Amino acid sequence: MTTIRINTPIPGPKSQAILARRAAALPAGAAKSTEVVVHAARGAVVEDIDGNTLLDFAGGIGMINVGHSPETVVEAMKEQLDRFIHACQIVATFEAPIELCERLNALTPGDFPKKTLLCNSGSEAVENAVNIAKYATGRPGVIVFEGAYHGRTLLTMSLTSKYGLFKKGYGSMVSDIYRLLAPNLYRTPEGMTEEDYLDYCISKLDAALISQIDPSAVAAILIEPVLGEGGFIPIPARFLKKLRDVADKHGIVLIFDEIQCGMMRTGKMFACEHAGVAPDIMVMAKSLGAGMPIAAVTGKADIMDAPHLGGVGGTYGGSPVACVAAIEALKILTSDAFKAQSDRMQAIMDNTLADWKERYALIGDARGLGTMQVVEFVKDKKTKTPDPDLTLEIIKDAVAGGLLLIRAGLYSNCIRLLPPVVMTEDQLKEGLAVLEGAIQRAHQKRM
């Protein structure tokens, strides 16, 4: 029996009415990937307001690795709501954020004492991490990388790559930010091996520490171990180890942004574990809260303790309702059953996407780690010319067939796959079949 049930076109009449209200009430710049209007969701299944049942392959952009509304998370939140909603950590102390910080201090990589700051969003966490690094080092400079996405506040927008989508029209950005080349092995220049290209990227890093900024002025190096918005590009282990060596040599704070690639999304709790490299500070959000707005900055205790009393914090940071949700999410994420399910899903996705890459001329690459995978669409396999229009066409077709999807990539020519890891194997295969059908139809139009 299939999960997907399509009773009306998407959007149906009730959805169209809600979408009209959205257009009238929300700013035009608040984009949406689909025209699905959610009525209810459980696990990997979304029901829209017209009674259509869809499978979620976007996962709230990686927000619900443990699925929609896990029972233990919901019950913990209800219990907390019955006691109290919030009291503000600046005013009083309550246990839930302390327990969550203890868990994150123990769970994150690195054999050193750690402390954790809780806040509300990935952007806020990145901003705090960078500010703490600047305070601890007394330096102004931050090194980031092409293809990065770190948020939409003024500082994090400045740290983010992809100018046209995220920065255009907003005026001057924050200074003392230095953007360097990140190795994208799929786009290794013609005539180079992947190892040659990696050597080249490392040489450009060394050169930048002479031509762009001296290491003595660098507070932090900030990178996603797997670029998210940039197209699910795993950063090679040798490059991450190079960053670790540079940071150690020059007293620079190495920050890993694991907002999208963390929380068992890549088959390990944190993506950096694939490379065996531990950062000085790790930034987490999205699936940490199982859908609740919460983020964390976990790092070396001496670095985290650097700001003066009152130098960090906020009204809603450490919300007890969000914290109990995160505690229960971590219990699920660290279980053997969840790991086994992730491995099973990865095997299916690896085999399916590899097959598509071989059979469809429109697919330039299929890549990723664990259940964080993309299909990259190009006009020609040899030239690798991005085809964002084709990508959007396939997404619209797949959504009409009952699949929630969203694009990714520097050129917006990738479909990102972030299905909840609690999805059944039958649901995963059903969703992949819907996507392949859309790919086949697009392929037939162009061949």
Q: Where do the domains of the chain lie?
A: 13-62+336-446, 71-333
Q: Mention every residue, 6+ apart, whose C-beta is less than 8 A from residue 37.
A: 11, 14, 15, 18, 19, 48, 49, 50
Nearest 5°: the CA angle 8, 9, 13 is 70
Torsion of CA 327, 328, 329, 333, to 10 degrees: 100
Tokens standing for 90?
């600046």
> What per-residue confidence (pLDDT) applies to 154?
96
Model confidence over 260-313: pLDDT tens digits? 999 999 999 999 999 999 999 999 999 999 999 999 999 999 999 999 999 999
Q: How far is CA 443 from CA 393, 404, 412, in A?
A: 11, 21, 18
Which portions of the chain are predicted below pLDDT 50? Answer: none
**Stated pTM of the model:** 0.97
pLDDT score recorded for residue 182: 96
User: CA 447 to CA 435: how far, in whole Å?
Assistant: 18
Distance of alpha carbon 158 from the chain centroid? 18
Tokens representing 423 are 């999805």
pLDDT in the model for residue 446: 85
Q: Where are the alpha helices (DSSP H) in 334-381?
A: 336-359
Q: Do domains 13-62+336-446 and 71-333 have the same CATH topology?
A: no
Amino acid residing at 374: V
| DSSP state for residue 215 in the 8-state scheme | G
CATH code 3.30.930.10 for 71-333: no
Residue 341: the pLDDT is 98
Q: What is the pLDDT of residue 447?
A: 74
pLDDT digits (tens, 9 = 90+) for 324-368: 999 999 999 999 999 999 999 999 999 999 999 999 999 999 999
pLDDT at 391: 97
Q: Which H or E run includes 18?
A: helix 13-25
- Provide the residue count of the chain: 447
| Measured distance CA(116)–CA(285) in Å, rounded | 13
Domain 13-62+336-446, CATH number (from 3.40.605.10, 2.60.120.1130, 3.20.20.70, 3.90.1150.10): 3.90.1150.10
Q: Are 77 and 86 in contact (CB under 8 A)?
A: no
